[in-house]
């Protein structure tokens, strides 16, 4: 089948056409030039003008339909980049290969990779507003941002003069029953732990301990779910090995792939003495059984395995190995506090995201979020203190602001009315424990009102990402009707 067959017959046809086109274009964070070129091409074909800022954020200006020229301008916003994750057994180069979609009932998913529905569906919907005939709307500014998935960097660098509108509709939410009016702020803390290597003792052999098969998930919206962290599981296995023998050493460790994804896989490369080899091969199945008992049905494919590898020439000294394990054990992961204002919502969390072996050091990246700036600072301070106590250099990376809810904005009131008219029920007005560009954009443009909505997307930031077809059609109906209503008032 061709890649486009998965979208045959789907409505709205223009939206799915643009989504298909975007998923033929590699668009990892920081490499969105080809996707921008596609947007610009579509704009030119349909007589719209476009402008870019120095970072690569783009605005396409769509004229109002006849008779609605005096309506207020509305900005429709989505980001062009996508998280690039794949299953270990899948051969896929995100720098060159198109996404290969599949259709299963009411779902569209990819073939062992992220789908890019986050936020390709939003970008496609924005483009469809330009190319779908017969719509009624006032002047539109289609705002396409870049480099969102690595920390909202495109929005942080947005030139606010690109946007004249004071109403923003963000299309990066993932539940059609919700209207989002606020989000958590976030920031990263990276620890650089110096380590010393020494020659591997004669006669030792190489083994690799691997944690795999975890579900992973979005480190914001799924952080409260019972999802295992591969780095934490690997650390537990290494602590168990450490307690069982002395003649082994760590040569390298790796886990996780992105700050905003709960790690699904991790591995440690070891050199093992003959006396501990039998012990290692005996206890790994025991530890694996204990892990499966702990995580039960929530991680059905969890696996802890040991396999042969070439004996490494060097291993980390035992002292530095112990410092690393203790640090990984001390670092927090998961929910820190639940919100007292929004019942059932996470207030503060942190994700132990990535661990990598680099020349002379182990680098550990964490990503923290909170609705409250002071609580975000507290968890970062805790991580920094853990790092300094272990002898690590601490790097605090620039964060992004939260989006403070405004419950009485005109944009929200009109959206609520339109939602009720279409779906015959009230929407859930919510905040989300994830980073949305609304907070950044609102902070740059005084007087800007904002709202966010989107279709049902599940498994975002993982190879299990999928979007429900019927909800895409529902959100399109809401968007089209909302723009028509705003332009008629």
Report strand pairing: 101-104 vs 457-458: unpaired
Quick one: pLDDT at residue 2?
46
Kindly report, residue by residue over 115-164, the tens digit of the pLDDT.
Answer: 999 999 999 999 999 999 999 999 999 999 999 998 899 999 999 999 99
Q: Does domain 3-184+402-488 have CATH number 3.30.1490.20?
A: no
148 a catalytic residue: yes
| CATH code, residues 187-400 | 3.30.70.360
Place of tokens 């190879």: 463
Could you give the residue ranges of the DSSP H alpha helices within 296-408?
318-330, 373-389
Quick one: pLDDT at residue 242?
85
The pTM for the full model equals 0.80
Q: Going along 296-405, which residue ranges are E strands?
A: 303-309, 314-316, 334-338, 346-358, 361-370, 393-400
Mean pLDDT of the 439-467 span: 95
Pairwise pLDDT comparison (448 vs 401), residue with the higher score: 448
Instruction: Share the mean pLDDT of the chain.
Output: 95
Residues of CATH 3.40.630.10 domain(s) within the chain?
3-184+402-488
Kindly report, residue by residue over 390-425, the tens digit of the pLDDT.
Answer: 999 999 987 888 898 888 899 999 999 999 999 999
Residue 456 DSSP label:
-
For 87, residues 6+ apart whose C-beta sits below 8 A from its C-beta are 112, 113, 463
Kindly report, residue by residue over 42-67, the tens digit of the pLDDT.
Answer: 999 999 999 999 999 999 999 999 99
Burial 387-403 (b: 16+ CB within 10 A, else e): beebebebeeeebbbbb
Name the pLDDT band for 3 (thresholds 50, 70, 90).
low
Q: Rounded to the nearest 5°, which phi and psi values hold at 105?
A: 60, -120
Mean pLDDT of the 9-24 span: 97
Residues of CATH 3.30.70.360 domain(s) within the chain?
187-400
Kindly report, residue by residue over 159-206, the tens digit of the pLDDT.
Answer: 999 999 999 999 999 999 999 999 999 999 999 999 999 999 999 999
Name the pLDDT band for 33 (thresholds 50, 70, 90).
very high
**Catalytic residue from among 14, 81, 147, 320:** 81
Report CA 370 to chain centroid distance, whole Å: 16
- Range with the lowest mean pLDDT among 47-51, 279-283, 351-355, 417-421? 279-283
Mean pLDDT of the 451-457 span: 97
Quick one: pLDDT at residue 1?
36
374 a catalytic residue: no
């Amino acid at each position: 089948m061709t890649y486009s067959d998965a979208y045959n017959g789907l409505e709205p046809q223009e939206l799915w056409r643009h989504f298909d086109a975007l998923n033929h274009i590699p668009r990892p964070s920081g490499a969105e030039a080809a996707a921008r070129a596609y947007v610009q091409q579509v704009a030119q074909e349909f007589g719209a003008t476009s402008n870019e800022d120095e970072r690569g954020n783009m605005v396409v200006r769509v004229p109002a339909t006849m008779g609605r020229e005096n309506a207020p301008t509305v900005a429709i916003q989505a980001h062009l980049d996508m998280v690039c994750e794949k299953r270990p057994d899948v051969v896929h180069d995100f720098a060159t290969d198109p996404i290969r979609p599949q259709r299963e009932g009411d779902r569209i998913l990819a073939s062992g990779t992220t789908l890019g529905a986050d936020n390709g569906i939003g970008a496609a919907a924005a483009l469809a507003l330009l190319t779908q005939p017969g719509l009624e709307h006032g002047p539109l500014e289609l705002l396409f941002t870049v480099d969102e998935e690595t920390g909202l960097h495109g929005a942080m660098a947005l030139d606010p003069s690109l946007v004249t509108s004071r109403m923003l509709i963000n299309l990066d939410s993932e539940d059609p029953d919700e209207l989002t009016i606020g989000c958590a702020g976030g920031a990263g803390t990276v620890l650089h732990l110096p380590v010393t290597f020494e020659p591997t003792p004669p006669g030792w052999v190489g083994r690799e301990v691997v944690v795999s098969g975890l579900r992973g998930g979005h480190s914001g919206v799924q952080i409260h779910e019972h999802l295992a962290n591969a780095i934490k599981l690997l650390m537990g296995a290494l602590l168990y090995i450490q307690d069982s023998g002395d003649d082994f050493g760590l040569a390298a460790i790796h886990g996780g792939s992105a700050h905003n994804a709960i790690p699904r896989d991790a591995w440690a490369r070891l050199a093992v003495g003959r006396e501990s080899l039998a012990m290692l091969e005996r206890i790994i199945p025991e530890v694996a059984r204990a892990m499966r008992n702990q995580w039960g049905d929530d991680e059905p494919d969890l696996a802890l395995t040991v396999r042969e590898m070439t004996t490494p020439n060097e291993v980390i000294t035992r002292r530095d190995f112990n410092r690393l394990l203790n640090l990984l054990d001390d670092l927090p992961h998961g929910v820190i506090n639940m919100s007292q204002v929004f019942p059932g919502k996470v207030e503060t969390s942190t994700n132990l995201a990535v661990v990598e072996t680099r020349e002379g050091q182990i680098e550990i990246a964490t990503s923290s979020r909170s609705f409250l700036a002071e609580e975000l600072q507290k968890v970062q301070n805790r991580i920094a203190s853990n790092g300094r106590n272990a002898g690590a250099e601490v790097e605090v990376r620039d964060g992004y602001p939260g989006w403070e809810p405004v419950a009485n904005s005109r944009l929200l009131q009109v959206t609520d009315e339109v939602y009720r008219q279409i779906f015959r029920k009230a929407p859930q007005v919510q905040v989300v424990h994830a980073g949305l560009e609304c907070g950044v954009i609102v902070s740059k443009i005084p007087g800007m009102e904002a709202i966010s909505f989107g279709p049902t997307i599940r498994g975002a930031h993982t190879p299990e990402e999928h979007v429900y077809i019927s909800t895409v059609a529902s959100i399109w109906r809401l968007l089209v009707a909302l723009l028509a209503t705003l332009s008629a008032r």
